[in-house]
Structure 1
């Protein structure tokens, strides 16, 4: 049987510059070279993997503004969990904001997963997890 490995996650967006600002400036991913596809987008390095942003207004966007950990999401792993928390706080994200606020942050420093996790929504309401999994 062929071995498979994850290469990238593709995220749709309505506003490329806004999404690039979030993933590059807030989360700290690095923009990398992208082929000249007929649709707008950007590629970002994420460790040995990639995150692809694609402008696709007709795509399937979440309608909920709340952070639903059971909804579709992807996870980024870090060795510096508290540093990432502080970076998000410095960018204006907070735990004490009401449900549905786009800057709301959910943090679980301990729990059934066995490692710290945080959840937030990107500008297009995609749920993003950041965890300290070993």
Structure 2
């Protein structure tokens, strides 16, 4: 899980909609120089969203997609104060959004799949998920994934 970086993680976020959640995390990625163009990045994320739900259940969503806007791969993770309406496998909203930031082309599809597999492995563990949901600081959030 060395792809996780505390500088693109945040807790106690105020968003109430999927759009607000994605905007918040995309802007964090831009601020930390992971992407160069927020609008292009969001367009690519929403394209992937249109292909199928990214809410995996247990209050977690993993929106993702590859984008020409990405400068370096990473996963922005936000813990939101409110349950956000989202299309999910268990028909609940989400509180944790893991927004994948993956470069388009250059064989990055494999990197994308490795990142998804690594995160899915962690999120398949109920104890990990409970610790993520209880996190009050970014340090606790990072620790929950350890």
TM-score by length of 2: 0.24
Query: Larger C-alpha radius of gyration, 1 or 2?
Result: 1
TM-score by length of 1: 0.26
Q: Compare the two structures and name the one with the higher strand fraction.
A: 1
Query: Whose RCO is larger (CA < 8 A, sep 6+)?
Result: 2
